[in-house]
Structure 1
Amino acid sequence: MTAWPARRPRPGPHRTALLGCAVLSVALAGCSLLGEDGSPDASGGTDTVVLVTHDSFALPQQLLREFESQTGDRLRVLASGDAGALTNKLVLTRDDPVGDVAFGVDNTFASRALDAGVFATAAVDLPPGAAAYALPDGTDRLVPVDTGDVCVNIDTGWFADRDLAPPATLDDLVRPAYRDLLVTPGASTSSPGLAFLLSTIAEYGDRWPDYWAELMDNGAALTAGWSDAYYVDFTQGGQDGTRPIVVSYDSSPAFTVGDDGRSTTRALLDTCFRQVEYAGVLAGAANPEAARDLVQFLLSPQVQAALPESMYVFPVRSGVDLPASWARFAPRPTAPYTLDPADISAHRDEWLTTWTEVTTR
């Protein structure tokens, strides 16, 4: 889950570049929330805790300064691509970790990181509601921080203007009525694209390659990433797109609300795949105590409340008030598609190879 859609006139959500520090480079160039001279805050702390995360980590700087103030630890943030690139980095550096805490490994990559011994056991208290998003195995090493669902979204006005009933299910997307209307980010190059592929695998089992062959024969378009699919090809993306069906997120319609107070898009809740992002203390962390404090901080009420507006995801903590637009326009699916993270880990490469063969034939 590393790209949440932008649906408001500012640097865009879905993980574009709303970064908590001035610069977070994909080359793992770090930044601190303290002074450039590296001096500690008034609490007298001198330790540094290094958070390794994806490029779209975007909590408000005020919150991260609050963590530094509370603990006296200097916080350094290292960005490393999307969820897949982040996981690869953590696995490759497991014997000499580049940080103390990792945040952003999601349920499509969690088993790979756990199997590689990337994370250490850390006694972190889960807040109310978070246990529902915990991994079947490895909860003592990876704790859920946020969640969201990758769903097919539609331009409701486009269908209304043509008096065409919009699709509702995955089955509908291969019908002739929706030929040349769908755009999706690719599964091999995009986290939401991979999640959409996993939705089809969960729905169709071993028949999923046949479904994808039908989908491509029905004119589905593929892009390298979510931004191109949403902003360029989608009819509500703002750049004269021609496709009114796009793979995006369940929260997307909350950011396409017009002056009339209505959203111009809708998520198809029968097409969604559940994504969860986790945080954990890295095995061999130089500062494991501060690392545990940081993981616990990510589960705090103030951080959980900031997630919808800053990172466009849902909190895992129950009882957190959502923005009014989310409560109205971002209903969550009641039965999203899921797959066992261990099955994803075991078959991901095989599935992606087959998907590439089917979509490029």
Structure 2
Amino acid sequence: MKRRTFVGAIGGGAALGLAGCLTQDGDGSSDSNGDPEPEELDLSGTLEVVTYESMLDGDNPAGPWLKEAFEEEYPDAELEWTQLPDQGINHYIQRGEQDDIDADVYFGLNVDDLVSVDDNLEEGGLFRELNRDRIDRSSRVRDGLDMGDPHDRVLPYDTGYISLVYDENEVDEPTTFDDLTEAVYEDALLAQNAQSSDPGQAFLLWTIDAFGEDGYLDYWRDLRENGVRVLEDWSESYNGAYMNEERPMVVSYSTDQVFADEFGYDFARHQIAFLNDQGYANPEGMAIFEGATSVDLAYEFLDFALSNDAQAEIAERNVQFPAVEDEHVDLGDEFDQYAHVPPEAVTVGYDDLRGNLDEWVDDWAREFASQ
């Protein structure tokens, strides 16, 4: 199995710039494929955008801000959010088979979702091939966030790095994956279900990257012997079990201290651990459904989401890194200080995931989904 390895570095105000040093397959050039630009744009009517719950609800979500700002810029348009069903991308894969999708844009897509689409539908399906010439700001996306889609259906709007968050009053910093199987970390770790959670699946793929497809299940058996607790999703594991101090360590994001600083939490319980000096890169993207009715508005929304103001608001409210080069976005000293980039960022790429992802997750779930 190949591994796409991205190199960055930790460091305060330099973090965003260094995240931009990630390398990507190909030359990153933009072809003028996809939807041709019409002679006259139709920028009126309703744009239906599908996204996940935390984009819409919770503490200071980005969704309401994006709606208000987009409608202010396009006064003849209305942005209507639709919350992603519990089945996630599988809901739209099933509806895509029946050609029964009313939405225009999917906001919150990752490479694993694209692979699920192409493993279950005709390759290149569900979403439109993008014409990058219709998205002026697409050229500002930092190198390394290309999701490897050979059909160019998705643009990233932010990125995060999966890491561990731990309480230094309860446990020492784990430095390797093998550390987590030692007695000193018995009954310490909270993880998420790889079938239903993006960070849960990312952590699973990180272990596959570390131990290979022939060794990752054995590693998870060692974790189980050492008492790992797998909960359904990130909210249940982090906002619930971890914040209620049920355990001293949780799979989460390397921007956790930004969140802790905002709410005045004790930093002792919000320390970041990069296993093997790595973090798992997990960019989020946006795509236009094949059957979109408001195509012109959809293109304008993708471009709008990459604007300076939108990128800053998404990054700060999602507590993630922006997708565009950092000279375009001012996130403030606190973000620069507390948002950490791993020394090495890794991900399992599209080509390696194709034809393997479902099997890997299913094999894992049979043994570990209900720990």
Cα distance in 1 for partners of 2:192, 2:233 equals 5
| 1:256–1:263 CA contact under 8 A, matched in 2 | no
Amino acid aligned to 2:117: A
Cα distance in 2 for partners of 1:185, 1:118 equals 27
Distance 1:356 1:113, change over 3 A: closer
Listed as ranges, the matches of 1:1-361 within 5 Å are 46-57=44-55, 58-59=61-62, 61-71=64-74, 72-81=76-85, 85-94=87-96, 95-113=99-117, 115=123, 117-123=125-131, 124-125=135-136, 126-138=138-150, 140-159=152-171, 165-205=172-212, 206-234=214-242, 237=243, 239-241=244-246, 243-257=247-261, 262=267, 264-269=269-274, 270-319=277-326, 320-359=329-368
Cα distance in 1 for partners of 2:106, 2:196 equals 22
| 2:149–2:350 CA contact under 8 A, matched in 1 | no
Q: Offset at 1:227?
A: 2.2
Distance 1:260 1:141, change over 3 A: closer
Equivalences, count: 307
| 1:127–1:299 CA contact under 8 A, matched in 2 | no
| 1:51–1:103 CA contact under 8 A, matched in 2 | yes
Amino acid aligned to 2:269: T
Comparing 170-179 and 56-65, the one that deviates more: 56-65
Cα distance in 1 for partners of 2:256, 2:193 equals 19
Q: Offset at 1:233?
A: 3.0
| 2:44–2:297 CA contact under 8 A, matched in 1 | no
Structure 1 residues 257-305: Cα deviation after superposition (integer angstroms, max 9, x where no partner): 4869855322212352111111112112111111111111111111101
Structure 1 residues 226-259: Cα deviation after superposition (integer angstroms, max 9, x where no partner): 222223432xx1x242x21111111112222486
SS of the equivalent of 1:351 reads helix
| 1:129–1:316 CA contact under 8 A, matched in 2 | yes
Following TM superposition, the consecutive aligned residue runs of length 4 or more in structure 1 with deviations greater than 6 angstroms are none
Comparing 264-273 and 169-178, the one that deviates more: 264-273
Q: Offset at 1:45?
A: 6.4
Amino acid aligned to 2:72: S
Distance 1:141 1:69, change over 3 A: same
TM-score, structure 1 as length reference: 0.78
Cα distance in 1 for partners of 2:354, 2:51 equals 20
Cα distance in 2 for partners of 1:96, 1:260 equals 45
Distance 1:180 1:310, change over 3 A: same
Q: Offset at 1:195?
A: 1.0
Cα distance in 2 for partners of 1:45, 1:349 equals 39
Distance 1:217 1:304, change over 3 A: same
Higher helix share: 2
Distance 1:263 1:294, change over 3 A: farther
Cα distance in 2 for partners of 1:309, 1:219 equals 34
Cα distance in 2 for partners of 1:60, 1:208 equals 37
Cα distance in 2 for partners of 1:337, 1:318 equals 20
SS of the equivalent of 1:151 reads strand
| 2:259–2:319 CA contact under 8 A, matched in 1 | no
Distance 1:148 1:262, change over 3 A: same
Q: Offset at 1:222?
A: 1.5
TM-score, structure 2 as length reference: 0.76
Unaligned runs of 5+ in 1: 1-43, 160-164
Aligned to 1:8: none
Unaligned runs of 5+ in 2: 1-41, 56-60
| 1:144–1:276 CA contact under 8 A, matched in 2 | yes
SS of the equivalent of 2:346 reads coil
Distance 1:260 1:105, change over 3 A: closer
Distance 1:210 1:231, change over 3 A: same
Q: Offset at 1:307?
A: 1.4
| 1:152–1:271 CA contact under 8 A, matched in 2 | no
Cα distance in 2 for partners of 1:260, 1:248 equals 16
Which structure is richer in relative contact order (CA contacts within 8 A, separation 6 or more)?
Answer: 2
